[in-house]
Structure 1
Amino acid sequence: MRPDLLLHRWSSSSVVILLGFAELNFPFISSLHIHVELLRGFCSDNPRNQQYPSARIKALERKMQKLGEFKLPHFFNYPPYFTLQPVRDTREKQIQLWKELILDYCKSQKTFVIAIEEEFPLFTNHVIERSLTHEAKETFLSALVSEGRAEWMDKGHRRCLILWHRIQDWADILIQFAKDNGLEDGVVTIEEIRSGPESQGTELHGIDRTILNRALKLLEQKGKLVVFKGTSTDDEGVKFSI
């Protein structure tokens, strides 16, 4: 059957779902280009499918690639990925893709906390008009927690601390920071580590205080530094011994 005749027999949503299912089950297939080309088949040359005008296609091509400056993976644009899959093997693939996306996005945006009941850019794709359910959000974040890449901050699982670097990795970054700034036996305030000129351009700049305190405590247990209290949280100090 000719492809143009085949397109007359499929609705646009059917094509999107079919391609999404194919990529979900065969992740090595990159069907983004095919997706866009098929959608073009529903434009002016096809009088029975006017629901996808050329402006709509151009919008899809522009917006499905990035979220701000963050490049989105292909799977983000297919509806099946926003619904928890019932088949175990398929769901495991889906969870793995979402775990990687959440970590990559949070690292690129320096996002440390996700509030599950609040709006979060990754959890909605306005182009395909799909959003993750509360169950899906909790499932993907819980998978990160089980791998030590996140922690629930409350018993109700409403807020999640994202560890795109594990605590040990943050501790290593702190040691390197001290060496780079000649602080092997020096003193610096915790606030200077988070927002001082020495941390500008480093991963420590703007670090979540909970994560920083955990990394400092780990290094203190190893005898690499001493944390001493000040008159306020702004002048709490750290003396490195490395």
Structure 2
Amino acid sequence: MELSSNLPCIKPVRDTREKQIQLWKELIIDYCKTQNVFVIGLEEDFPLFSNPAIERSLSHEAREAFLSALVSDGHAEWMDKGHRKCLILWHRIQDWADLILRFVRENGLEDSVMTVEEIRSGTESRGTELHGMDRTVLMRALKLLENKGKLALFKGTYADDEGVKFSL
């Protein structure tokens, strides 16, 4: 599908380019939030980056520029040194931590114990932004809260069976 003469790319005029990048950042964040997407692979098919119906796709340069702009804003992080995969943070880690605290308070879980998987996919989280969230993002938010003394993380019987003891 690579049509080298017809690839949309970064605009050369600075003001136009800045507006273009801003619009793409908003589009990517909004899409990822509504579709619950946390990882974008630079080389993988991503619906916003290509349109098979008109046989057009963003250039590699444009994809990397838009994702790099999100990284600069703190709304994404490169997952590898080669900048091939990007972790999208439509909420910054601190904001995810705040959402977790609100979830705990609203559900009366202040002194309870839950597994990490229950937070991600349990009945209590259904209908919230926490439901189905990326495990890496969740663990980083939980560790931030642990460092602030809001909870304690502990290992369960199995390697991926971590527990959380809230102490708000």
TM score, norm. by length of structure 2: 0.93
1:104 maps to which of 30, 52, 63 = 30
Which structure: larger Rg? Answer: 1
Matching residue of 2:161: 235
Paired amino acid for 2:87: L
Residue 176 in 1 paired to residue 129 in 2?
Answer: no
Matching residue of 1:208: 134
Alignment: residue pair count: 163
Find the aligned partners of 1:81 and 1:100 in 2 and give their Cα distance: 21
RMSD: 1.4
CA contact (8 A) 1:149 1:166 kept: yes
CA contact (8 A) 1:112 1:162 kept: yes
**C-alpha displacement at 1:84, in angstroms?**
1.1
Paired amino acid for 1:219: L
Residue 193 in 1 paired to residue 138 in 2?
Answer: no
Find the aligned partners of 2:7 and 2:29 in 1 and give their Cα distance: 17
TM score, norm. by length of structure 1: 0.65
- Could you tell me which runs of 5 or more consecutive residues in structure 2 were left unpaired when the two chains were aligned: 1-5
What is the CA deviation profile of residues 151-176 of structure 1, one whole-angstrom value per residue up to 9, with x for unaligned ones? 00000000000000110110011011
CA contact (8 A) 1:81 1:94 kept: no
Matched position secondary structure for 1:198: coil
**C-alpha displacement at 1:220, in angstroms?**
0.5
**More helix per residue:** 1
**C-alpha displacement at 1:235, in angstroms?**
2.7
Matched position secondary structure for 1:144: helix
Matching residue of 1:93: 19
**Higher RCO structure (Cα 8 Å, ≥6 apart):** 2
- Could you tell me which runs of 5 or more consecutive residues in structure 1 were left unpaired when the two chains were aligned: 1-79
What is the aligned-residue identity percentage?
74
What is the CA deviation profile of residues 78-133 of structure 1, one whole-angstrom value per residue up to 9, with x for unaligned ones? xx993211111111111011000000000000000001101000001234432101
Paired amino acid for 1:106: C
Find the aligned partners of 1:227 and 1:143 in 2 and give their Cα distance: 33
